[in-house]
């Protein structure tokens, strides 16, 4: 239980840091030096999840989907990804259930597609991966996927809602 809590806290911090970087990049045209330390923190936190949590397989799928879908489009985002990849290379990695890598990858990629009409809520709230993580938890008994993803998304969405395009003068 202690491990899942540490991974959830790391994901929470990573989600907040990543969204803060996104806000700086989107609303301030990338101006502000705080984005680099935030990218480092996000990379270290995601790296922690990759090194020590069964949810590593989910995060590998998400990172791969982000790269494939062109979402890692700024140097600061690339910095976070490189740091996240370096941590498990240095410390080792939890492989978890690698059979879930492709489904998590596909669901994370679907989360980036802008659907219309009946499937619009899945696009707006990025529900594909959340649903997949919930099903994976129910089928495997490993709830780390769902809990860690919810922690990341909760922080990401909280910063998004709080910021409304402004990031406290940073």
Domain definitions of the chain by residue range? 2-163
Q: Provide the pLDDT for residue 166.
A: 53
The dihedral over CA atoms of 118, 120, 123, 126, expressed in degrees to the nearest 10, equals -70
CA distance 19 to 39: 10
The pLDDT value recorded for residue 119 is 85
pLDDT recorded at residue 169:
39
- Pair of tokens at residue 68: 């494939």
Say what the pLDDT of residue 114 is.
87
- Widest CA span of the chain, in angstroms? 46
- Regions of the chain short of the pLDDT cut 50: 165, 167-170
pLDDT of residue 1: 65
pLDDT of residue 135: 98
Position 109 scores a pLDDT of 96
């Amino acid at each position: 239980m202690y491990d899942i809590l540490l991974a959830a806290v790391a994901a929470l911090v990573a989600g907040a840091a990543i969204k803060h970087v996104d806000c700086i990049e989107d609303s301030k045209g990338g101006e502000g030096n705080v984005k680099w330390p935030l990218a480092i923190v996000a990379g270290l936190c995601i790296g922690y999840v990759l090194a020590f949590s069964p949810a590593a397989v989910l995060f590998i799928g998400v990172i791969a989907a982000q790269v494939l879908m062109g979402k890692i489009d700024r140097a600061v985002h690339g910095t976070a990804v490189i740091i996240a990849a370096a941590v498990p290379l240095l410390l080792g990695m939890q492989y978890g259930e690698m059979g879930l890598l492709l489904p998590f990858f596909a669901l994370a990629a679907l989360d980036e597609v802008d659907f219309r009409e009946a499937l619009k809520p899945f696009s707006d709230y990025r529900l594909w991966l959340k649903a997949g993580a919930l099903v994976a938890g129910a089928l495997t008994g490993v709830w780390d996927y769902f809990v860690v993803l919810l922690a990341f998304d909760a922080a990401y969405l909280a910063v998004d809602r709080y910021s409304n395009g402004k990031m406290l003068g940073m």
